[in-house]
Chains A and B, each alone.
Chain A
Amino acid sequence: MQDFFKSSRFKILSALLVVLFAFMLRATLTGGASVLVSEIFGMATQPFVSISSSLSKGTASFLGSFVNTNEISRENEELREQVRELNEKLAAFEQYKHENEYLREYLEVKEQNPDFKFETAEVIQRDPNNRFCSFMIDKGSLSGIEYLDPVITADGLVGRVVEVGYTYSKVATILDVEMDVGCYDVRTRDTGVLEGDAALAADGMCKMSPLPRETVAAKGDLILTTGIGGLFPKDIMIGKIQHVSVESHGKSTYAVVKPAAQIATLTDVMVITDFLGQGGINNAENYE
């Protein structure tokens, strides 16, 4: 054993260890910027990963139609029920829309359409056994994606970019305990912060808190982003409240929110590379 510690091999391994430590420290300092080693390995493995992902996606899709017949049938029933409910809501919506347009004209408020710029991407890798469902996509800085860009699907908010390489990016989802999203209840206008919770993440849900103790938020309420802070655009769908409970300290309540996006089984996402009010905090700091 003594020979090993005196050998040149030990010195080489020690040097390698120091280099890895240096990269790790740089990673902590640079935040979302991918470090050199990560970049090299990422670019080297990305073609294999993309091919493997595409092949297995096709196979899984083909086999899945045979294996998941019962599930598809059940899902079909649920979707029919949802369509019926949505038709009812659509009738009400048309009425509200007409009323709303009238009020807008009256108040001469110019309707502002958010000027989103999207980049579509495919999920090519998942962090194995990560209950927060983080994943890697096949687009990076070469496609205009930047650190902290929001990631969504047509259904709703998924998460945000936490690391960017040239040809890939890593996405942390709203189930992650590190994630905080400003949000509000559409019906009651209660605001709060949506955050990941280790226990709820196992069931694909997250927590909105703190809500006032006397809140009337209830199951089925829609939760949208507030857009405060400039990290996420305003009024992006997050999900629906499953239930509201009182915190253990008894001073406030929290809502358990089921995300609208199917986070655990996503295959394609959209990254919002630009939106009105993006980076609000940083812009404000620069301004000051």
Chain B
Amino acid sequence: MYRDTMLCSLKHALYIGILIMLYLLQTNPFLFHIAGMRPLWIIPVVVAIAMLEGEYIGAFYGTAAGVLCDLSATKLFGLNSVLMLLCCAAVGLAVIYLMRFTTLNSVLLTGAVMLVKDLFCFYFYYAMWGYSGIWRVFVFDMIPELILTLMVTPPLFLMLTHIKTKFDERMSS
């Protein structure tokens, strides 16, 4: 029992470590980017965690990822947190009741979460204020960001699935 608790804690410490490392990669002004664009590394991670761990734990990780997104943005604090909480809870429920646990579905769900997040952020941050030509932000910033994020989703999903499987094996043994 004690060993299982320790392993479970270690697993979550590893998840949090990965989340922080990828957040640094995502926001560091000098690191990885493709033609000036970067994927949102932490979104596929929390979507994968929601798929692996269910809606409850997934919602907490989603909230954490949302807070980190809010932290790096200069816009209204809290919108990303609320959206990611709801999205990750929905992802967890979708995998339990509707969808199979596959890599393709992780890409689809990450795409859906990104799209919901981007549409809400675009509307509340820009569109509702009526700035001229602001559609460019969605088309030339948010869509490429979404595509890049989808590209990095499969390796992240497989990595997290591998971590979860290894820990489950140890716990069951």
Contacts and interface: CB of A to CB of B under 8 A. Distances in A.
A, B bound: yes
B92 to A, nearest CB: 9
Contact of B136 (A21, A172, A198): A198
Contacts of A57: 29-30
Contacts of B132: 197-198
A197 B82 contact: no
B23 interface: yes
A17 B59 CA distance: 10
A4 B55 contact: yes
Interface in B43-89: 55-56, 59-60, 63, 67-68, 70-74, 76-79, 81-82, 85-86, 89
A208 to B, nearest CB: 15
Interface in A149-168: 162-163
A53 B27 CA distance: 9
A170 B75 CA distance: 10
B67 A41 contact: yes
A135 interface: yes
Contacts of B131: 177, 198
B145 A45 contact: no
A35 interface: yes
Contacts of B4: none
B24 interface: yes
Contact of B20 (A9, A48, A170, A177): A48
B137 interface: yes
A128 B145 contact: yes
B31 interface: yes
A49 interface: yes
A28 B63 CA distance: 19
A172 B74 contact: yes
B40 interface: yes
A53 B29 CA distance: 7
A: interface residue count bin = 35 or more
A67 interface: no
A53 B30 CA distance: 7
A27 interface: yes
Contact of B29 (A27, A28, A267): A267
Contacts of A202: 136, 140
A179 to B, nearest CB: 11
B136 A199 contact: yes
Contacts of B29: 53, 56-57, 123-126, 135, 267
A137 B77 CA distance: 17
Interface string A1-31: 1001000010011001100110110011000
A13 B88 CA distance: 11
Contacts of A280: none
Interface string A187-222: 000000000011100100000000000000000000
B161 interface: no
B81 A37 contact: yes
- What are the nearest 3 A-B pairs in CB distance? A24-B78, A134-B74, A60-B30
16 contacts: A4-B93, A13-B85, A16-B59, A17-B86, A24-B81, A37-B81, A45-B23, A48-B20, A126-B27, A128-B26, A128-B27, A128-B72, A130-B141, A136-B27, A198-B132, A267-B29
Given A45-B68, A123-B29, A131-B140, 11 more contacts: A12-B56, A20-B82, A27-B78, A48-B20, A56-B31, A124-B29, A127-B74, A136-B27, A163-B77, A172-B74, A198-B132
